Amino acid sequence: MRFPLPVRAHAGTLAVLVALTAVACLLVAGLPRATQASFDEALRRALTTAPAVQTDLTVASEPVEDLRERAQFESLYRHWQHSVPAALRPLITPDGHMSAKTSRTPVTGTGGGTYINLGWLSDADRRVDWVQGRMPGPTSTTRHEGETIPLIEVGVVDEAVREMGLGVGQIKMLGESDYVAVKIVGIFKAKNPGDRYWSHDLDILHVSKQRPPGGMDEELHLTTLMSDAGLTALSGAARHLTYRWVLPLDGRAASALDVPDLDAAVAELGRLVKVQEVSNNPHRLDTGLPKLLDDFSAALAAAQTVLYLALGGLLTVALGVIVLGVRLLTDRMEHTFALARARGGSLRQVAGAGAAMTALAVAPAALAGYALSFLVPGPVLAVVHVGPAVVVVTAVAFAAVRVSVAHRTPLHERRDDVADARPSVRRVTLEVLVVGLALVGAYLLRARGLSQDPLLLFVPVALTLAAALITLRCYPYPLRLLVRLAARGRAAVPFLGLTRAARARSASGLPVLVLLPALAVSVFATMISNEIASTQVRASWQQVGAPIKVTSVGEIPASVIEKVRATDGVEQVVMAQTGQVQLADAPEYAAAIAVDVAQWRRLIAGTPISVPPLSGGTSALVSPALKGRGAFEIGWLSRPRVTPQGVIDSVPGFWSSGKFLVMPMTVLPRPQANTLLIKGDVSRAELARLVPAATVDSQKRALAAIREDPLTGIVRSTLVVVTVALGLYALVAVVLSLLVGAAERARAVSFLRTLGLSDRQARRLTVLEVLPMVLVTALVGLGLGLGLPIALGPGVDLSAYAGDLQVSGYSPDLVMAGVLAGGLAVAAALGAYAHTALGRHRDLGAVLRVGDQS
């Protein structure tokens, strides 16, 4: 067959097929790259924003055999570097470091109230500046209680000068039996205290205050810095001593695809560290990387579940629309193929010609869409190559099969409008099997969840296919009831239009198989996106507890509070005092907040959060962990006795678990506040200026932080893209379904026009023929889309994208459903009117064959 003439004759149809194929291949190849790029960015952000002590690989040892020299530490560090599995090596940076520290080393004579630990950092010279005195030097000796003991020169952080009264020149005796003396020779400050590096050594940068279990008084803990020479005086036999070799991890090169390998590599390194005999000391691997990877994998799995469902539905619909376009092309070439068969062409030649015509359109278009997908940033996955190939193979294979089935015998005439097609027993059995499997899968999905069986991910696809098959089989039956009612009337148009709509013609199947998943997946994507958005808002309020919250370590002076009240834009200020309180006389503590609950309730009125009412006096709201205790005393500035009035699961902006209670401000002996809850339009910078020592947080900032997460962003943006694309595909499917049956419809209308059918009646007839299929399919698709979130709800946890709040209670988006259904109905009606208008001036002799008008 010569192609130039058919190409010119069917240029419009080929152009539609080219456009559909190019867009489909761009979406199929581009969206996975964009989603994977966001997955990678999410992992990199998780690794680079987490404390280094959590992500780095730290080999630790409580020594039996002491290491006395720096060279011994460096030799072991090189060994651990070489032991890192291959999957982790690209992420390990060369600037590792080592340390040796004692813990809980008491200052002699303090009764365990003060602890000064000895510490050595291999890279201290690069990390600190000495602001007073000098760097520690060699170790010497001194006399104590008639014995010669080591005297170690150390430096302390400048914070210790304020908090513990330490200074240059002081000598402190450490230990209760095995003594050692330290001489403070310098005061240092960190060069970059915000560096992630310091998360390994916060005990060196800060004085910590700890309350021991059952104790009433706080302990002071500090770790000093000493020189390399101080290692000779450290012994694990006399102190609680720990050696550490830190292998820093740079997450900027990580990929989400490598997470399983990274997890396995960390486990392998942990095993090697335990079993390798590099010294007489036992070693272990300390890292929070497995937990971080597991948390990321859980969030990633939920994102992939939603996105794979959406992208799978998009691919299915795109293939269906392309198949509709191929069906239109082969129908337009029906007479050409029939003539070729009548002139002796073999079935292989005719089918090959149809496949070649289709390939001529879809292959270059697929290549163009595939090439355009490389403009989308992201890694090149296998689906980027496979997706466009699937589109081309599906289109060409359908064309070959369609032409082969239609032209098995030369000049085989068919009249699909005369009698209903009766499906074979084999086909009915297969359809019943698909419906049964879909229902069983839906039950298992709700009962077990996706975590138990990933194959259940195909359940929504099976449900969509089952709903489409049921619709195909059942939608003619209610129309036949309408036909019987219309037959009793005098008007012929309703009877004829509904009769043609009720006939199970082969051309009606494809539009249903395209429209139904398009509507179902688009409604599903919209509901998921909307529910995530609303839960994000609720989570942001839950995190802050007010439009703006100002939290100070110490008491906020009354004069400062008045300045805040007088600031432009501030509408309401509620004072609150938070702290740890002792419960009764037992060594048990709980978090507490004293606040005017009535004012707080007025401040958050109309927001997604609420606080139960609380009467005055000494009533309190307690957490579930404190439920059923009756009245009890608390130790907080005084010893008031509070009576639980109710149970509250969480306190917005403060606590959501553990032991806590909410009480009136009048419980305190004097009104004071370390927290301000503010309503109004005022900048965080202005409040930070008014309360310099405080942390200012806002609901808007919390919401922005939740939405800026890469995983959250890609889930919502992909759902929006899929929704828009599916809506457009649904409209294209309606138009193509009109075009596919255009020839048959024009022929029927032409027959009726010879009997006196007017143009107005022809338009009504066409609308009544087309609209029922669209409306029935739209209703089923919308119903399935509204039910998919409910079916998937127990199996998919989306809390990672909503501020760790559970996404549940999916409310039907009737507005979106109405817009989609209405849009398709309008498109079908307008298409029917346009089709009738275009065929109004057609010559009947050009439509009807010789003898049809007799």
Whether the predicted pLDDT of 740 surpasses 50: yes
Report how far residue 102's alpha carbon sits from residue 119's, in angstroms, rounded to the nearest whole number: 7
Bridge-based pairing of strands 660-663 and 589-595 is parallel
CA 699 → CA 76, 301, 680, 683, distances in Å?
Answer: 49, 28, 12, 12
Confidence at residue 846, expressed as pLDDT on a 0 to 100 scale: 53
> Residue 247: what are its φ and ψ, rounded to 5°?
-105, 100
Whether the predicted pLDDT of 80 surpasses 80: yes
Confidence at residue 853, expressed as pLDDT on a 0 to 100 scale: 44
pLDDT tens digits for range 695-709: 899 999 999 888 888
Whether the predicted pLDDT of 833 surpasses 70: no
What is the pLDDT averaged over residues 8-14?
78
Question: With 0-12 CB in 10 A as exposed, 13-18 as middle and 19+ as buried, what is 381?
Answer: middle
Report how far residue 725's alpha carbon sits from residue 316's, in angstroms, rounded to the nearest whole number: 12
Q: Which two tokens stand for residue 746?
A: 């024009």
- DSSP state letters, 756-811: T--HHHHHHHHHHHHHHHHHHHHHHHHHHHHHHHHHHGGG---GGGTTT-----PP
Pick 384 or 458 by higher pLDDT: 384
Residues with Cβ within 8 Å of residue 666, at least 6 apart in sequence? 616, 617
Whether the predicted pLDDT of 178 surpasses 70: yes
Report how far residue 425's alpha carbon sits from residue 448's, in angstroms, rounded to the nearest whole number: 34
What is the pLDDT averaged over residues 572-589?
84
pLDDT tens digits for range 367-377: 999 999 999 98
- Helices 710-740 and 759-792 pack at an angle, to 10 degrees, of 150
Residues 477, 449: contact at Cβ < 8 Å? no
Whether the predicted pLDDT of 77 surpasses 90: yes
Residues with Cβ within 8 Å of residue 850, at least 6 apart in sequence? none
9-13, 227-231, 653-657, 800-804 — which is least confidently predicted?
Answer: 800-804
Tell me the Cα Rg of the chain: 38
What is the pLDDT averaged over residues 120-135?
94
What is the pLDDT averaged over residues 785-795?
71
What residue type is 23 in one-letter code?
V
Whether the predicted pLDDT of 236 surpasses 60: yes
Report how far residue 361's alpha carbon sits from residue 511's, in angstroms, rounded to the nearest whole number: 21
Q: Estimate to the nearest angstrom the gap between the alpha carbon of 820 and the chain centroid.
A: 26
What residue type is 236 in one-letter code?
G
Confidence at residue 700, expressed as pLDDT on a 0 to 100 scale: 92
Confidence at residue 854, expressed as pLDDT on a 0 to 100 scale: 41
Residues 43, 280: contact at Cβ < 8 Å? no
**288-302 burial code (b ≥16 CB/10 A, e <16):** ebeebbeebbebbeb
> Residue 452: what are its φ and ψ, rounded to 5°?
-80, -30
Confidence at residue 522, expressed as pLDDT on a 0 to 100 scale: 80
State which H helix or E strand residue 583 sits in: strand 570-583
pLDDT confidence bin for 423, thresholds 50/70/90: low
Pick 623 or 830 by higher pLDDT: 623
Residues 44, 251: contact at Cβ < 8 Å? yes
Whether the predicted pLDDT of 850 surpasses 50: no
CA–CA–CA angle 778, 783, 786 (5° rounding): 125
Whether the predicted pLDDT of 635 surpasses 60: yes
Q: Among 221-230, 680-689, 759-768, name the most confident range.
A: 221-230
Confidence at residue 180, expressed as pLDDT on a 0 to 100 scale: 93
The DSSP call for residue 651 is B
- DSSP state letters, 444-473: HHHHH-TTT-GGGGGHHHHHHHHHHHHHHH
Pick 574 or 312 by higher pLDDT: 574
Residues 103, 240: contact at Cβ < 8 Å? yes
Confidence at residue 788, expressed as pLDDT on a 0 to 100 scale: 76
Q: Which two tokens stand for residue 607?
A: 């927001």
- Three state DSSP letters for 80-144: HHHHCCCCCHHHECCCCEEEEEEECCEECCCCCCEEEECEEECCHHHHEEEEEECCCCCCEEEEE
Residues 60, 242: contact at Cβ < 8 Å? yes
Closest CA to 115 of 125, 105, 123: 105
pLDDT tens digits for range 490-549: 777 777 777 777 765 544 566 777 778 888 878 877 888 888 888 889 999 999 999 999
Pick 675 or 145 by higher pLDDT: 675
Pick 214 or 753 by higher pLDDT: 753
Q: Which two tokens stand for residue 334?
A: 């029906």
Residues 158, 166: contact at Cβ < 8 Å? no
What is the overall mean pLDDT for the chain?
Answer: 83
What is the pLDDT averaged over residues 42-51?
91
Confidence at residue 480, expressed as pLDDT on a 0 to 100 scale: 78
Q: Among 149-158, 405-414, 788-797, name the most confident range.
A: 149-158
What residue type is 553 in one-letter code?
V
Q: Find where tokens 């294979």 sit.
A: 397
Confidence at residue 450, expressed as pLDDT on a 0 to 100 scale: 55
Q: Which two tokens stand for residue 331?
A: 């129908």
Residues 186, 132: contact at Cβ < 8 Å? yes
pLDDT confidence bin for 56, thresholds 50/70/90: very high
Whether the predicted pLDDT of 291 surpasses 90: yes
Report how far residue 617's alpha carbon sits from residue 143's, in angstroms, rounded to the nearest whole number: 62
What is the pLDDT averaged over residues 559-564?
90
630 φ/ψ sector (left φ>0, alpha ψ -120 to 50, else beta): left
Q: Which two tokens stand for residue 421?
A: 């097609």
Q: In what order do the strands lie in the sheet with 240-247?
A: 119-121, 97-103, 240-247, 57-61, 284-286
Confidence at residue 403, expressed as pLDDT on a 0 to 100 scale: 87
Give the bridge partners for 180, in sequence order: 174
pLDDT tens digits for range 396-414: 999 999 888 877 776 555 5
> Residue 713: what are its φ and ψ, rounded to 5°?
-65, -45
pLDDT confidence bin for 840, thresholds 50/70/90: low
Confidence at residue 844, expressed as pLDDT on a 0 to 100 scale: 53
What is the pLDDT averaged over residues 615-632?
86
Mapped onto helix, strand or coil, the DSSP state of residue 291 is: helix
What is the pLDDT averaged over residues 28-45?
89
Mapped onto helix, strand or coil, the DSSP state of residue 189 is: strand
- DSSP state letters, 487-518: HTSS-HHHHHHHHHHHS--GGGHHHHHHHHHH
What is the pLDDT averaged over residues 755-764?
72
The DSSP call for residue 344 is T
The DSSP call for residue 212 is -
Residues with Cβ within 8 Å of residue 670, at least 6 apart in sequence? 637
85-89, 693-697, 709-713, 828-832 — which is least confidently predicted?
Answer: 828-832
Report how far residue 836's alpha carbon sits from residue 823's, in angstroms, rounded to the nearest whole number: 20
Report how far residue 80's alpha carbon sits from residue 60's, in angstroms, rounded to the nearest whole number: 11
Confidence at residue 57, expressed as pLDDT on a 0 to 100 scale: 96
What residue type is 121 in one-letter code?
L
Report how far residue 321's alpha carbon sits from residue 731's, in angstroms, rounded to the nearest whole number: 10
CA 62 → CA 117, 221, 319, 722, distances in Å?
Answer: 15, 20, 63, 56
pLDDT tens digits for range 300-343: 887 777 777 778 888 888 888 898 888 888 888 887 888 888 77
Query: What percent of the chain is predicted at pLDDT more than 70?
Result: 87
Bridge-based pairing of strands 570-583 and 632-635 is antiparallel
CB atoms within 10 A of CB 441: 22
